[in-house]
Chain A
Amino acid sequence: MIFLSNYIYYIGAFGLILIALYILLTRHNLIKKIIGLSILATGVNLLIIAIGYIKEGTAPIFSNPNLNPQNMVDPVPEALVLTAIVISVAVLAMALSLAIRLYKHYRTLDMRKIKEQRW
C-alpha cells in the first residue's frame, strides 16, 4: 500500500500512456488512432508534471509575499508541459485535417481498406 500511495500519480499517468499505445497498435479506425495520440500526449504531460511535484507544494507564483520558496513545485516541468500541450494541439489539428482528406479520397476511415496505409 505504501508503494501504491507513493507512486499513484506515476502509475496513473503511465497507465494512460499504455492505454494510448494499445489503441495506436490495435485499432483500425483513423479517428480512434487520433484519439489515442491525444491520450498519449495527456499521459506524457501528466507524467512530467508528477515528476516535478513536491509534497504539499504550492504553484510557483509569488502572489502572496508570505509564501515559502522552499515549498514551491519545480517550474521547469510546468513550462515544458505548457509547450507540449500547444504542440499536441497542433499535431491533433494536423492529424484531423489529414484524416478528413483521406476520407474525402477513399470514402472510408478504416486503415485496412486504404491501400497505402495497410496495417
Chain B
Amino acid sequence: MSNIRMRNIIGLILLFIIAFAVILSIIEIPFGIPKTTVGNYYINNGIDETGAVNIVTSVVLNYRGYDTLGEVTILLIAALGLGAVLGTIKRKAKKEITPSSVVLSTGCKVLFPFILLFGSYIFLHGHLTPGGGFQGGAIIASGYLLVYLGCAKRRINQNRFKITESLSALIFLIVGLLGLVFGGYFLLNFLPKGIPNTLFSAGIIPIIYIAIGFKVGSELTGVIDNLIEES
C-alpha cells in the first residue's frame, strides 16, 4: 500500500510545481478586457467580407477554412481507426435482445424525425444563429443513438452511412477547389454574398456547413454503431 501512497504524493508534488508555474503566467493575463486585434478585425469586417452574421462561423469556414478541413480529416481518421481497431474482433453470435416496451419504442419512433429535423435546422442556420455543421451532426447522431437504445432491433446500414460520409467530404473538397478555379485560391467564397441575416446568404458557407453536418452525423453514428456492437 505504501507504494500507492508514494505515487499519490509524487503526483501531488508534480501538480503543485505545474500549478505554480502556470499561475505565475496566468496572473499576467487580465480578465474581461479585449486582448487581440485580429478578433476586432473579424467583428468589424466579417459581415462585409463573408456575408455571414455569425462571426464565429465566418472565422471557422472562411478565414480559417484550412483548419476546419484538417479538423474534419481528424474526425474521419478517428472513425476509420475505430473501425479498424474494433472491426478485426470476430463478431460474437447475436445475443438475445429483450424487446423494448410499447411506450419506449413508440416514443422513440415519434421523436426520431423531430430530432433529425432539429439537427438539420441547426446546420442549415449555421451562418445565422449559434450552431453549425458540427453541432447539428452531433444532434443527428444523438437521434440515431435513441434508435439504438430505444428500438433494440433496429440497426443502420453501415455502407450507406459510409457513402454519405465520403460524398459530403467530397463536396467540401470540390467547393474548395471551385474557389481555386474561379478566383485563384482554395476555399474562396466565390458565390454571391446576398443580404446578410437571410437564409440564402454568405456564399459557400451554408453549402460547406450542410456537407459537414451530413458528414459529422454519419461519422458519429458509425462510431456509436461500432461501440454498441462490441458491448
A binding-site residues for B, Cβ under 8 Å? 6-7, 9-10, 14, 18, 21-22, 25-26, 50-55, 59-63, 69, 72, 74-76, 78-79, 82-83, 85-87, 89-91, 93-94, 96-98, 100-101, 104
**Which residues of chain B are near A7, meaning CB under 8 Å?**
26-27, 31
Dominant secondary structure of chain B at its interface with chain A: helix
Interface residues on B, range: 35 or more
Nearest B residue to A82 via CB reads B60
Establish whether residues A79 and B34, one from each chain, have CB atoms under 8 Å apart when the complex forms. Answer: no
Please tell me if B22 contacts chain A, counting CB pairs below 8 Å: yes
Say yes or no: B8 contacts A93, CB within 8 Å: no
How would residues 8 to 51 of chain B score, 1 for a CB under 8 Å from any chain A CB and 0 otherwise?
Answer: 10111011001100110011010111111011001110110000
Interface: B160 (CB within 8 A): no
Residues from chain B with Cβ under 8 Å of A26 in the complex = 7-8, 11
Instruction: Report yes or no: A97 in contact with B82, Cβ–Cβ below 8 A.
Output: yes
In whole angstroms, how far apart are the Cα atoms of A74 and B196 in the complex?
20
Given A90-B74, A97-B81, A61-B11 contact (CB < 8 Å): no
Give the Cβ gap from A43 to chain B, nearest Cβ, in Å: 11
- Cβ contact within 8 Å between A97 and B85: yes
Complex interface residues of chain B between 63 and 87 (CB less than 8 A to chain A): 64, 67-68, 71, 74-75, 77-79, 81-82, 85-86
